[in-house]
Amino acid sequence: MNKRQSQILEWINTEKKIEVSSLAERLDVSQVTIRKDLDLLEGNGLIKRSHGFATSGNPDDLENRLALHYPLKRQIAILAAASVKDGETVMIESGSTCALLAKELTLKKDITIITNSAFIASYIKDAPQTKVILLGGEYQHKSQVTIGTLVKQATTNFRVDKLFVGVDGFSVGFGFTGSDLMRADTVRSMAESAAEVFVLTESKKFEQSGTVSLFPLKAVSRVYTDDRIREEMIKVLTDAGIMVATV
């Protein structure tokens, strides 16, 4: 994605609906160029098209959350992907940055992704060289993940080096937090099959707290985030033995 396309995406996310002609005028390019840009953004599931317009989608849908701060999330995903070697098997839980991580991993050779995210499985469906194992269980429509006893049972069949997860918030005394009790319980069961847990999140998540405990500090090995994270928060994490990598 180039700078112009990133700007288009930010405008659409902010304004929700923009005419093609308006975008062409703002950027001083032809409408043909704008349509090509919009085709690329729509192809990546970041916007929706209608005749003469580009629109954002429902912000609660994971597909549309990908579009929010997309360039930053992709940078975090690229950074995290560097920790995975060709031929490796990893677990990935759901979330927009985790979906972008899965996309980056499709560029590597002989990668196997174990996930409870139906969205991620669909998002990388055009990468046949990447093996995907989708954990079955009770389906949550909003988050597009599987949860519950069946997922927990399935995870016992695997042992991987790395589990990548997203979070909804953080508390110094509470650790990493989520917003759904059943989903958090499922993620913790996935962590039992992984040697290390890696968190991918925007720095703003460290300024808010979810309602459900996800992981204590001691359960996480690395955090991939952006450089807007406060220094005092980095100290909290590093003092707990967590490696912090920023973009």
Phi and psi torsions of 33, nearest 5°: -65, -45
Q: What is the pLDDT of residues 102-120, one digit of tens each?
A: 999 999 999 999 999 999 9
At residue 142 the predicted structure's pLDDT band, cuts being 50, 70 and 90, is confident
Structure tokens at 100: 């972008």
- For the chain, list the domains and their CATH numbers: 3-57 (1.10.10.10), 70-246 (3.40.50.1360)
CA dihedral for 138, 132, 65, 79, sign (positive or negative): positive
Question: Closest Cα partner for 205 from 174, 240, 166, 243?
Answer: 166
Question: How confident is the model at residue 73, as a pLDDT?
Answer: 93
With a cut of 80, say whether residue 58 has pLDDT above it: no
Mean pLDDT of the chain: 91
Token pair in block for residue 99: 């979906």
Largest Cα–Cα distance of the chain, in whole Å?
Answer: 56
pLDDT bin (cut points 50, 70, 90) of residue 56 is confident
* Coil, helix or strand at residue 83: coil
Residue 244: the pLDDT is: 98
Give the model's pLDDT for residue 67. Answer: 66
Say if residue 137's pLDDT is above 60.
yes
Pairing of strands 175-178, 131-134: unpaired
- The predicted-structure confidence for 32-47, as pLDDT tens digits, reads as follows 999 999 998 888 777 8
Higher pLDDT, 110 or 211: 110
Phi, psi of 82 (to 5 degrees): -65, -15
DSSP-derived secondary structure for 218-245: GG--EEEE-TTS-HHHHHHHHHTT-EEE
pTM: 0.80
DSSP for 204-218, please give it: GGGGS--SEEEE-GG
Residue 62: its pLDDT value, please? 64
Of 192, 174, 188, the closest CA to residue 240 belongs to 174
Kind of pairing between the strands at 138-140 and 145-147:
antiparallel
pLDDT, greater one: 148 or 44? 148
How sure is the predictor about 176, in pLDDT bands with cuts at 50, 70 and 90?
Answer: very high
Q: Which of 64-73, 118-127, 144-153, 238-247 has the weakest average pLDDT?
A: 64-73
Distances, alpha carbon 52 to alpha carbons 4, 14, 31, 35, 46, in Å: 19, 18, 10, 9, 17
SS (H, E, C) 107-161: CCCCCEEEECEHHHHHHCCCCCCCEEEECCCEEECCCCEEECHHHHHHHCCCCEE
